[in-house]
Amino acid sequence: MIPESKRVQQIPPYLFADIEKQIERAKAAGADIISLGIGDPDLPTPELIIDELKATVEDAENHRYPSSQGMASYRQEVAAYYRRRFGVELSPDQEVCSLIGSKEGIANINFCFVDPGDINLVPDPGYPVYSTATMLAGGECYFMPLKEENGFLPDLQAIPDAVADKAKILWLNYPNNPTGAVADLAFFEEAVAFAKKHDLLICHDSAYVEMTYDGYVAPSILQVPGAKDCAVEFGSCSKPFNMTGWRIGYIVGNAKAVGVLARYKSNVDSGAFQAVQYAAIAGFRRAEEIVAKSAAIYAARRDILVGGLNEIGWNLKAPKATFYVWAPVPKGFDAKSFAAHVFDKTQIVITPGTGYGQMGEGYFRATLTLEENLMRQAIQRLKDHLGQVRF
């Protein structure tokens, strides 16, 4: 048997693949599982998006190879969305590229800028792809701790100059997965100044920018004057339009970085199916309406989950954004043992915080991707089997 490459040997199994296998085994054994583990919207893709797919999928022109950069009309619609939503002007030809879901671009941009031995600045806890893709490209991770006392924002000034000067990419993600934290423009201004000082590319993952509640409106890092000199932003149709399985997203911002990723992609993929791009265009044109409906549903679920956990003994504030609740584990447990305990006692799946990095120790993540009745059932099971918890 041919051995795996060294780069593949060093990466762990993907966190959510293991969770999916756990759920499958338990269901096969007859368990009544309630999963608060994986951030996959349960809401259906809006009908207007499905209708656009139906209208375009039979057009033979859409059966041919698409452009790896994306259709001009798709890139123009992304640019129009940024103008309308953030007041940011983008060149559809030079500052926008389609992605086969933002995850693809987040992984691939490392191969565009990271050479063996280079450093990336990676949040901890954070979306696992930032670190695994860095390693696959031959790079090394300098982990930036996200601490509750700092609002789960990295302390950029605590990064040694020697590290920052050697680094290639600064990874940011706000609204944040897994913590649900948010960042304001003042923080993004600091990040842009930091990147320019150390000649870094900021890669901002804004997958949850439209998943906000209670009147909070999340900004784009590209709203900072001069941000396009050093920053790109990754966006996704998965969360705002409930299109996780459709695989469509975008990168916008710094023209060189966008162009280099487009060139790389032209050698490793053949672009997103055009009918899916047309469907996403329909979503962008009705984004405000679609997002408002989803946000109302998730906010109600958030209140059920946070309120229920607080009744059991937690003291959580409702997150302003994302569909995640990030909570400390009770006294006597670490992250993994508490997740195992909850599953054993209640058949509820939660994600241990250590799945997102060492700084996730002492926390777990629960999602809001369950309809209200199941969310209430989950809370009742926790009350019945855990009782009052202590911290």
91-136 pLDDT, tens per residue? 999 999 999 999 999 999 999 999 999 999 999 999 999 999 999 9
Neighbours of 239 (CB within 10 A): 25
Lookup result for tokens 């784009």 = 220
What residues pair up with 202 in beta bridges, in sequence order?
170, 231
- Does residue 14 carry a pLDDT above 90? no
245-258 pLDDT, tens per residue? 999 999 999 999 99
| Share of residues in the chain with pLDDT > 70 (%) | 98
Domain membership of residue 156 (yes or no) is yes
| Share of residues in the chain with pLDDT > 90 (%) | 89
Does residue 111 share a domain with residue 36? no
Confidence of residue 22 (pLDDT cuts 50, 70, 90): confident
Does residue 344 share a domain with residue 216? no
Confidence of residue 18 (pLDDT cuts 50, 70, 90): low
List, as one string, the DSSP characters of 335-383: HHHHHHHHHHHH-EE-EEGGGG-GGGTTEEEEE--S-HHHHHHHHHHHH
Confidence of residue 15 (pLDDT cuts 50, 70, 90): low
Domain membership of residue 391 (yes or no) is no
Does residue 351 share a domain with residue 262? no
Does residue 264 share a domain with residue 370? no
- Which CATH number belongs to the domain containing residue 102 in this structure? 3.40.640.10
- Does residue 38 carry a pLDDT above 90? no
Q: What is the pLDDT of residue 72?
A: 98
Does residue 72 share a domain with residue 12? no
Does residue 230 share a domain with residue 330? no
Does residue 326 share a domain with residue 233? no
- Does residue 7 carry a pLDDT above 80? yes
Q: What is the pLDDT of residue 57?
A: 97
Distance of alpha carbon 168 from alpha carbon 387, whole angstroms: 48
Q: What is the pLDDT of residue 135?
A: 95
Does residue 156 share a domain with residue 36? no
Q: What is the pLDDT of residue 353?
A: 96
Q: In terms of residue numbers, what domain contains 371?
A: 6-45+289-386
Does residue 59 share a domain with residue 153? yes
What mean pLDDT do residues 184-189 have?
A: 98
What residues pair up with 252 in beta bridges, in sequence order?
96, 233
315-367 pLDDT, tens per residue? 999 999 999 999 999 999 999 999 999 999 999 999 999 999 999 999 999 99
**Structure token pair of residue 197:** 């000082």
Lookup result for tokens 């305990």 = 341
- Does residue 212 carry a pLDDT above 90? yes
- Which CATH number belongs to the domain containing residue 294 in this structure? 3.90.1150.10
Q: C-alpha 250: how far from its chain's center?
A: 13
Does residue 342 share a domain with residue 272? no
End position of a domain, from candidates 255, 286, 317: 286
Q: What is the pLDDT of residue 224?
A: 98
Does residue 21 share a domain with residue 153? no
Domain membership of residue 1 (yes or no) is no
Q: What is the pLDDT of residue 31?
A: 78
End position of a domain, from candidates 235, 267, 286: 286
End position of a domain, from candidates 286, 317, 347: 286
Does residue 197 share a domain with residue 60? yes
Lowest mean pLDDT among 27-41, 349-363, 369-383: 27-41
Number of domains in the chain: 2
Confidence of residue 10 (pLDDT cuts 50, 70, 90): confident
282-328 pLDDT, tens per residue? 999 999 999 999 999 999 999 999 999 999 999 999 999 999 999 99
Task: Extract the runs of DSSP E, i.e. beta strands, from 237-333.
Answer: 249-253, 324-328
